Amino acid sequence: MLRILIYWLINATAVYVTAHMLSGISITTFGAALIVALVLGLINALLKPVLVFFSIPFLIVTLGLFMLVINALLLQLSAWLVDGFAVQSFWWAMLGSLCISLVAWLLSAILKI
């Protein structure tokens, strides 16, 4: 249970840092980042497997790069669902999803989780 909370905090921190690094993504408070991390985690657990299944032909043709599109769309969906979090465009969502992944990976590596 503690491990899940740590991952949640890491992802919330990644969302918060990304929003402050990129001008096309904005967030009001760290509390909003916690909610975004929770919503994004739920969306990734419930909706992402369905999207990946139905986009297998695109994933094969693009050698997996279509996952960037899926991740960007899921980030935009979470921005639409959470007040206090906004993504200006699809391209900002794509860059933001890459940045969130990199920051979360870096924090996990630093904390050795």
Give tens-digit pLDDT for 73-103: 999 999 999 999 999 999 999 999 999 999 9
Residue 112: pLDDT band with limits 50, 70, 90: confident
Residue 1: pLDDT band with limits 50, 70, 90: confident
pTM of the predicted model as reported, rounded to 2 decimal places: 0.91
Domain that holds residue 14: 2-111
Note the pLDDT tens digit of each residue in 32-65: 999 999 999 999 999 999 999 999 999 999 999 9
CA angle 74, 50, 92 (to 5 degrees): 15
Strand partners, 107: none
Q: Which amino acid makes up residue 58?
A: F
What is the widest separation between alpha-carbon atoms in the chain? 40
**What is the count of structural domains for the chain?**
1
- Nearest-angstrom CA–CA distance, 26 and 46: 25
